[in-house]
Amino acid sequence: MEKSKLPVTFNKNYKPRPTLLRDRIVLVTGAGDGIGRSCAKAFAKHGATVILLGRTVRKLERVYDDINSTGGPQPAIYPMDLLGAKASDYHDLACRILREYGRIDGIVHNAALLGALMPIEHYDLKMWSEVIHVNLTAPMMLTQACLSLLRLSQDASVIFTSSGVGRQGRAYWGAYAVSKFATEGFMQVLADETDNSAIRVNCINPGAVRTRMRASAYPAENPQSLISPDEVMNPYLYLMGPDSNAISGTSIDAQ
Ligand code: NAP
């Protein structure tokens, strides 16, 4: 299928049908909290079997229980700290998914570190490496390990999570902003490499959303002035489901 790389404005009237993701196997990183937790629950609600990847097992267990209690397809928990994971860990994950499910239909690269908001002059080098690793290198390693599994899907979707500061640099956002610029670039490279395949690759910028990360970036902000993660799920569902079949290499704003 020929895919469009034209900029996409998300249609706010989009209504995902209840069976949108039926029989799909989807992995979400950072699935225990914030936007990742909402993605996992929304995908399961629309029929997907969700692999919940994250570093805090008790949070993943809560999401697992929520999905089970609402009658969604049985999810799977895959504990992994993206900061320390090695290529062999990603290889093991891909082997497990192949054994259990035979393929993968989607990945949401959602987990991220904010790091610190401070001038470049004072930015701690260890923190710089950690933020770049979790936000950029880990999604690259995970994607690399899973590409052969994505090729086994009839139509696969890879979603990267961007940010406003990944489009326009902003003082003091340091490694986080740089990692999000690079995420947009990586998405475009991968989209071009997979152009003649059934894999599509896109970015979402969720915009300001009421999460733990947002609260640590803007401690003085009233969280109640922000929308909740559940309220930005339609663009994620759109990009994860077959309605976005013909779209790859684009970055959409959820708000
Ligand atoms: P959040 O509530 O802090 O969630 C981040 C998730 O990433 C958590 O589940 C966290 O796990 C996980 N994570 C962090 N480091 C990890 C590691 N080393 N290994 C595995 N998992 C790790 O933040 P959020 O706001 O939902 O952010 C989700 C995505 O949206 C991020 O990519 C962020 O950059 C992006 N974003 C958010 C906003 C916003 O306003 N919220 C705006 C623009 C972009 P733990 O729960 O175990 O810490």
Distance 131 CA to ligand 1 centre (A): 11
Q: What is the pTM of this model?
A: 0.97
Buried b / exposed e along 173-195 (16+ C-beta atoms within 10 A):
bbbbbbbbbbbbebbbebbeebe
State pLDDT tens for residues 70-109: 999 999 999 999 999 999 999 999 999 999 999 999 999 9
State pLDDT tens for residues 138-168: 999 999 999 999 999 999 999 999 999 999 9
Q: Is residue 224 exposed (0-12), middle (13-18) or buried (19+ Cβ within 10 Å)?
A: exposed
pLDDT of residue 3: 73
Tokens of 82: 């993206």
**Count of Cβ atoms closer than 10 Å to residue 196 Cβ:** 9
State pLDDT tens for residues 115-138: 999 999 999 999 999 999 999 999
Ligand 1 contacts (CB < 6 A) are 30, 32-36, 54-56, 59, 81-83, 110-113, 134, 161, 163, 206, 208-209, 211-214
Q: pLDDT tier at 5 (50, 70, 90 boundaries)?
A: low
pLDDT of residue 8: 74
Ligand 1, residue 81: give the atom nearest the CA.
Answer: 19
State pLDDT tens for residues 216-251: 999 999 999 999 999 999 999 999 999 999 999 999
Active site annotation includes 176? yes
pLDDT at position 2 over 70: no
pLDDT at position 111 over 80: yes
Q: Report d(CA 37, CA 59) in Å as an integer.
A: 9
Q: Report d(CA 112, CA 205) in Å as an integer.
A: 13
Three-state SS at 149: helix
User: Could you tell me where the DSSP H helices lie in 162-227?
Assistant: 174-193, 212-217
**Chain position carrying tokens 């475009």:** 188
